[in-house]
């Protein structure tokens, strides 16, 4: 651990954690139980509408958002930069397909919303540029809700948006009643002192590959989760942080392999989503449940586990897969 401390710096990845509140204006039916992929798809389609330079902005800009702004992005590059960044988008040749700078965090919800009911959607924006595009991000979500949700395309409106680090209360509103958006800079979340042990809750399916297969409840080990968190944090910091993460990865992985789970209560959750791009059902199953993890002796891994609460891990992170909750 002394070697890691001498050679390493803590992750410095600026994040903006938001809670979006939608109010159903009419009854909405046939909502999918797995909501992360659902809202991600709506967000992507709305971004494409907003990014169309040949369409007057007033024709697609939702009335819930009065402020028109894209931050450091151009309007015509909005979809590419936020939803589907590529090597050209970030100008980092080492990346073939960088992860998108957002995570939708919504484990699930009711399949029917009555008029007046609310839907809460967690959203993490990763990096300064994504945070600066907050008005366009909120406009895309508002546009998606206005265009209709569920099987009957019931309308909803974006009623509130606030900075909120998961727990209710103490949040900072960023959307006024008049529709003006207050820009809040992304910031590196402070990491609290490392506890002696922690309960890890896998709130949405964790889908990690091992060879050609997906790890299941019997084959998943703490090292698999911890190593994946280190890799994802490093990848995101290289793409969206000020500078690449400097650390002794080999030493961190050696610590991860020494970790052990106990009080394990895991199961495999089977689920699928429809891919319009591939025109087929996609397997989205993964491990859910909880376990306890002793952190004594592996303290350098604690920052990565802590940040995983907002970054998620494994396959499908942008659509809410691999959501982690920590309980001391």
Domain regions of the chain by residue span: 15-173, 191-327
Tokens of 204: 């949405």
Identify the CATH number of the domain defined by range 191-327: 3.30.70.1900
Distance of alpha carbon 276 from alpha carbon 40, whole angstroms: 13
126-160 pLDDT per residue, tens: 999 999 999 999 999 999 999 999 999 999 999 99
Distances (CA, A) of 147 to 55, 144, 158, 195: 17, 5, 12, 46
Contact 230, 304 (CB under 8 A): yes
279-302 pLDDT per residue, tens: 667 778 899 999 999 999 999 999
- Angle subtended by helix axes 249-257 and 222-240, to nearest 10: 160
Contact 163, 187 (CB under 8 A): no
101-131 pLDDT per residue, tens: 999 998 878 899 999 999 999 999 999 999 9
pLDDT of residue 93: 56
pTM (predicted TM-score): 0.92
Contact 188, 13 (CB under 8 A): yes
Distance of alpha carbon 159 from alpha carbon 21, whole angstroms: 6
pLDDT of residue 67: 87
């Amino acid at each position: 651990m002394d070697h890691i401390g001498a050679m390493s710096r803590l992750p410095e990845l600026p994040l903006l954690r938001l809670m979006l509140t939608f109010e159903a204006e009419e009854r909405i039916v046939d909502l999918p139980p797995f909501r992360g992929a659902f809202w991600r798809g709506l967000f992507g389609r709305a971004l494409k509408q907003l990014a169309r330079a040949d369409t007057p902005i007033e024709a697609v800009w939702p009335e819930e958002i009065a402020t028109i702004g894209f931050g450091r992005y151009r309007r015509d590059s909005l979809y590419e930069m936020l939803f589907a960044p590529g090597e050209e988008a970030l100008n980092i040749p080492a990346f073939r397909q960088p992860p998108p700078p957002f995570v939708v965090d919504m484990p699930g919800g009711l399949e029917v919303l009555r008029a007046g009911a609310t839907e809460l959607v967690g959203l993490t924006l990763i990096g300064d540029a994504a945070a600066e595009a907050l008005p366009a991000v909120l406009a895309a979500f508002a546009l998606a809700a206005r265009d209709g949700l569920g099987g009957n395309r019931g309308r909803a409106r974006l009623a509130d948006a606030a900075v909120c680090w998961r727990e209710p209360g103490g949040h900072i509103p960023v959307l006024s009643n008049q529709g003006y958006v207050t820009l809040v800079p992304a910031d590196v979340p402070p990491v609290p002192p490392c506890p002696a042990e922690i309960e890890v809750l896998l709130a949405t399916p964790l889908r990690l590959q091992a060879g050609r297969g997906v790890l299941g409840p019997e084959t998943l080990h703490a090292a698999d989760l911890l190593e994946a968190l280190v890799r994802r944090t490093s990848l995101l910091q290289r793409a969206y942080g000020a500078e690449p993460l400097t650390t002794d990865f080999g030493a961190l992985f050696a610590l991860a392999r020494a970790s052990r789970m106990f009080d394990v209560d895991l199961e495999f959750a089977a689920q699928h989503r429809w891919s319009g791009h591939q025109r087929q059902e996609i397997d989205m199953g993964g491990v859910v449940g909880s376990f306890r993890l002793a952190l004594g002796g592996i303290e350098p891994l604690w920052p990565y586990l802590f940040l995983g609460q907002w970054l998620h891990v494994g396959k499908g992170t942008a659509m809410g897969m691999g959501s982690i909750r920590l309980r001391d």
